[in-house]
């Protein structure tokens, strides 16, 4: 679309739905490409990427960027970003001040952080199984405030049978209330995960019976509505950027379990850069070593610690999310500047 817009001499703005740190990686890649003496996947040194305070291990980069064809795709688009007249990004200044300041150089098109952009009342509330949704919400209504941990790995996220069993054992060891979104692995690389028709075929024998009083295992749910419920006290997440923003908006601390795309970088930023999440793994890849039941147990107990510093920081950031979008807030002002630019173009 950038190419078409430029050919027609139409001002082109890029909407970037990921964090400013990942934008920094995309914009830096054309420079990094001139410096590399080996394949990105073969690097054994850490990278300095604008937007990140700390050096980045190549193992945190998206898997596809470490493949030759995928690397070329990222490089091509990173170069094209410089041909736009502005970059609209789903973040806000109080969340990523260092990243936004680092990326906003004279060589880069103007950046307009107008987030958090969240679907709190629209299609994200759709329920394919209304009866199941009502069952889950009724169960949550009966739980004490901030006592339930929510586990969800995104619309594309699913885990191996061995990993599912470790999570199940970890939940039992932790002994906390939970809602666990568990989805079946797709039949092929072009399909999306499906809901299980029978959870017993994937879970340890007797797990559903032993946890019947404290937990629910379910298929797809409206994540926004679950996170907004008063009973939720923690979120084990794949660290998709929308999920992170939703969790921060509702003041729910995250334990990081990235699965695909740029999620490893997102997890690194949340834990190491911002101190807004608890680490389970930063560089988890499906097919790598398993996250053990003891790790799951420890992470859940840490996540549900009401006096934890991370929880307090997340609560403060939740307030800043709202302030950013209010009149005189940073995102409000940035959106106003963008509208003025568009009107006068």
All domains in the chain, ordered by first residue: 2-113 (3.40.50.2000), 123-320 (3.40.50.2000)
- The pLDDT assigned to 274 comes to 98
Edge to edge, the sheet with strand 13-16 lists 13-16, 86-89, 111-113
Rounded-to-integer distance, Cα 102 and Cα 24, Å? 8
Contacts of 28 (CB under 8 A, 6+ apart): 49, 50, 78
Decide which of 115 and 307 is more confident: 115
Helix axes 309-325, 241-249, angle to 10 degrees: 90
Mean pLDDT for the stretch of residues 190-205: 79
Nearest to 318, CA basis, from 228, 221, 255, 238: 228
Q: pLDDT, tens digit, for every residue of 182-192?
A: 987 766 666 66
Q: Phi, psi at residue 278, to the nearest 5°?
A: -105, 135
Report whether pLDDT(73) > 60.
Answer: yes
Say what the pLDDT of residue 192 is. Answer: 66
HSE value, Cβ hemisphere, 13 Å, CA-based, for 300:
27
User: Which one, of 134, 128, 127, lies nearest residue 216 by Cα?
Assistant: 134
123-127, 226-230, 283-287: which range is least confident on average? 123-127
- Note the pLDDT of residue 140: 98
**What pLDDT sits at residue 37?**
87
Q: What percent of the chain has pLDDT over 90?
A: 76
For 261, the token pair is: 């795309």
- On the question of pLDDT at 127 being above 90, the answer is no
| Least confident span in 6-20, 88-102, 176-190, 229-243 | 176-190
Phi, psi (deg, nearest 5) at residue 94: -65, -20
pLDDT band at 157 (very low <50, low <70, confident <90, very high): confident
pTM of the model: 0.94
Q: How far apart are the first and last CA of the chain?
A: 19
In angstroms, rounded to a whole number, what is the distance separating the alpha carbons of residues 43 and 52?
A: 18
The per-residue pLDDT of the chain, averaged, comes to: 92
Confidence of residue 199 (pLDDT cuts 50, 70, 90): confident
- ∠ CA 178-183-185, rounded to 5°: 145
Which residues neighbour 153 within 8 Å (Cβ) at sequence distance 6 or greater? 159, 181, 183, 237, 238, 257, 259
Q: Do residues 214 and 239 lie in contact, with contact meaning Cβ atoms separated by under 8 Å?
A: no
User: With 70 as the cut, is the pLDDT of residue 208 above it?
Assistant: yes
Assess whether pLDDT exceeds 60 at residue 126.
no
């Amino acid at each position: 679309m950038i190419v078409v817009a430029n050919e027609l001499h139409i001002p082109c703005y890029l909407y970037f739905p990921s964090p400013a740190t990942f934008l920094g990686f995309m914009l830096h890649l054309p420079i990094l490409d001139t410096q590399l003496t080996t394949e990105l996947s073969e690097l054994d040194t850490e990278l300095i990427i604008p937007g990140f305070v700390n050096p980045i291990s190549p193992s945190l980069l998206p898997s596809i960027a470490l493949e030759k064809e995928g690397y070329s795709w990222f490089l091509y688009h990173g170069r094209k970003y410089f041909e736009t007249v502005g970059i609209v990004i789903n973040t806000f200044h109080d969340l990523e001040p260092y990243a936004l300041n680092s990326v906003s150089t004279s060589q880069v098109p103007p950046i307009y952080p107008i987030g958090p952009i969240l679907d709190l009342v629209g299609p994200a509330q759709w329920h394919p199984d209304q009866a199941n949704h009502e069952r889950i919400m009724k169960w949550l209504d009966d739980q004490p405030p901030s006592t339930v941990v929510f586990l969800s790995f995104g619309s594309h996220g699913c885990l191996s049978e061995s990993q599912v069993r470790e999570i199940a054992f970890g939940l039992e060891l932790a002994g906390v209330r939970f809602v666990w979104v568990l989805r079946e692995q797709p039949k092929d690389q072009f399909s999306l995960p499906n809901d299980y028709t029978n959870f017993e075929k994937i879970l340890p024998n007797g797990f559903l019976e032993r946890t019947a009083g404290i937990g629910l295992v379910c298929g797809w749910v409206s994540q926004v509505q679950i996170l907004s419920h008063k009973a939720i006290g923690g979120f084990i997440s794949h660290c998709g950027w929308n999920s992170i923003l939703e969790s921060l908006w509702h003041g729910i601390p995250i334990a990081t379990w990235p699965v695909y795309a740029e999620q490893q970088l997102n997890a690194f930023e949340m834990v190491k850069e911002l101190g807004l999440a608890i680490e389970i793994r930063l560089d988890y890849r499906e097919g790598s070593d398993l996250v053990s039941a003891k790790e799951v147990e420890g992470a859940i107990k840490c996540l549900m610690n009401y006096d934890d510093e991370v929880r307090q920081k997340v609560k403060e950031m939740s307030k800043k999310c709202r302030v950013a979008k209010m009149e005189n807030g940073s995102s409000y002002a940035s959106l106003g500047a963008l509208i003025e630019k568009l009107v006068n173009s």
